[in-house]
Amino acid sequence: MLTSMDSAPGTPGTLTILGCDGSYPGPGGAASGYLVEQGGTTLWLDAGPGTFARLQEVVDPRTVDAVVLSHEHPDHWSDLESFAVWLMHSGTGAPVPVYAAPGIERRAYFGGIRLLDWHETGPGARMEVGGLVLTFDRTDHGPPTMAVRVDRDGAGGDPATALAFSADTGAEWTVASLGEGIGTFLCEATYTLDQEGRFRHLSGRQAGAMAATAGVGRLVVTHRWPPVPPGALLAEADEAFGKPVHQAAPGRVFEW
């Protein structure tokens, strides 16, 4: 596991990459999954295959305050099943809130267990988890898919404190719909420009251009399809963004 830290000055939250492969895990990899921590609050953002194993290397699962699931494609939520089994055997108390896009709860084998407290998200929905404020917006994808903006409660609009996650999307959505003041943008970039338009995902070029237009502070690309060379995707994202872009990798940690 990597242990690098990329920081944004003066921001106390952390974003840990648990998995970042697009559509399926590549050899030794894991699909979409991220750990967001700030001020004693721990949020598991997407739970793709392989990410629960990685989560246990970073935190005690008992500390997870809530799970956010962007959409029903299995590469974004199926490890919730493993978490549910862990909860059944761990002797934990209060149910863990799950903030999920429409369609996921009915697909979950262990979705009905009392240790998961389901809440359906939608465009414009606003949730509070500990000291974090979550705002959702629907993206340009097949099933209902929710991007999310994470703000520190009481941050006073400081542009360095907002984190946004695109989830899966095509080019008809923009992170600008989540508002101004996004310091770190975690954006899916699945392909290179020669494959633009496939399956309503973004290329590195499209992710970089979107982030530049929206004026985000820092761009981290994720959800790369395993056969796509990371250097090629990152190079076109760099050029379109106009400054260096970060490539998500399991274990990489960013301050926000």
Tell me the HSE value of 248 on the side-chain side, using a 13 A CA sphere.
Answer: 33
pLDDT beyond 70 at 156: no
Nearest to 6 by CA among 223, 202, 244, 187: 244
pLDDT in tens, 39-72: 999 999 999 999 999 999 999 999 999 999 999 9
Start-end of H helices in the chain: 51-58, 80-90, 204-214, 230-241
Q: What is the pLDDT of residue 113?
A: 85
pTM of the predicted protein model: 0.94
Nearest to 65 by CA among 95, 89, 88, 86: 95
pLDDT beyond 70 at 194: yes
Nearest to 211 by CA among 245, 235, 234: 245
Q: What is the pLDDT of residue 109?
A: 95
Rounded Cα distance, 220 and 123, in Å: 23
Q: What is the pLDDT of residue 5?
A: 56
Neighbours of 232 (CB within 10 A): 14
Query: What's the rounded mean pLDDT across residues 13-22?
Result: 97
Of the listed ranges 14-28, 102-116, 210-224, 235-249, the least confidently predicted one is 102-116
